Structure 1
């Protein structure tokens, strides 16, 4: 009996150790995706050449424009000198590389800008309407900020890539900006990986992926192979930021495969598999699918191919089929 019991104890521990050692690597790894928008910005600057006055700006995204996903009106305030000083309401517009802010005494003018009341597609095209907002009159003060690349001239305000100017309609003074960009609306898409006790964070925007709205990406799965973590993301996003013209209302859909170094979190490889694209004239339909694999039939202008997605190994492979019928 003692021998039998001893054998049972030994067998129990042997099985337990086997289960612990056999536990898949994925049990020690988690992959999540967090997407969000930042819609406000506070920054400091100074106005003037020799005698410079400090100024603080607080800006918020007010309304999105009708024709561009990253152009918008801006509300907020600015404050000269510092805390305890009065704050003055401002209205403005942000388009690509130009930010224009106004201090109006007339609330109707501020409302016109904040709510894009100059918009009239029967009289103007979209870009002409945006120019009108940048060159409004009857302001008390106007401040413009332009992104610049390379060296900023000494005759203007020097910031890290920002040239600013203040005017009251008569006098002009430079604005020194102490930051490299003035993006008020910022899209964040952060891939968070916990692997072998370490946490890694990968900013999809930093990978030069177009991101217009939260919720455009989703984690389809991941697998640990040796020292690497394979992650597959799906995406469904607008074809381009400019919402008018060809593919303005179009969409791009597909799968992204990231090969990540599990020791330091570096992205070793990024592959984009298009399933649908207005820009590239790609369409697809689902083929055979089960818990372990998915197949898509993808057609472009030149051929029709199969895209095979192994959901266990996170492998994506093209299989040639031939020219479309």
Structure 2
């Protein structure tokens, strides 16, 4: 009896030590997991603090930025716009502004009360999001990846700028706010189509030039006037138009006069067989210059965005040289 009892006692003692060791191992594992969780949470907090910092924004022309409507719009904005999180604006923050960032630190700047851009014309294509009409404008500056969306269906105008990815659907939250607080009766009116103020004689030779031009010019596609609303169609009567999303249009008008800025001896740019004069005066907010062909019986004017590329003038020059009569001065 004593012998069996001794064995039993030893077995109980061994089992007890095993349970203690297992409990210790489980406890150590739990502590390790908790430690890892704390480390990960701490790391995320540190990353968030370094990534989701307020956006620095300088002053720009925003005549209605300090209006009560802009105050209401800024105060009612959603915490997120797609992948972007509200992070605020560094002090001193301009009136009517909000700042967002995505997980990579890319900035998104929102400004209320700005002027409608010069790119907003009868030819502009707008998109709807959140009950608001949005005009997308791509920065034509070489090396820039900035895109700005302007609300043009209500007043005041809101501009949303980022160099990151932003879909129209991501603007729905802002659109709901601008359409709720804004005034659609005072929405900005689109400006005239480029070159619409230039009288054009036209004629068979000019028609031949237009017919010789391609349906596409780089990223630009030619517009069929029959697909436009009556006001837009009237605005481009006598012109050929090519458009690209987010960019100002390419507009050609044949049989025009030379601009007041042209003087004898002015610097010309030769493109194949056609010399061109560039009128460098730009409309407010526009990045398109106007080029005038020289040395032919009819003068062709081309409104050419900064980022349209040389292929446009090359194609137009070929059509001019094939269809217009050269002048003696050439």
Q: Determine if the TM-score, normalized by the shorter chain, exceeds 0.5.
A: no
Q: Taking structure 2 as the reference length, what is the TM-score of the superposition?
A: 0.19
Q: Taking structure 1 as the reference length, what is the TM-score of the superposition?
A: 0.20
Of structures 1 and 2, the larger Rg is shown by 2
The structure where strand makes up a greater share of residues is 1
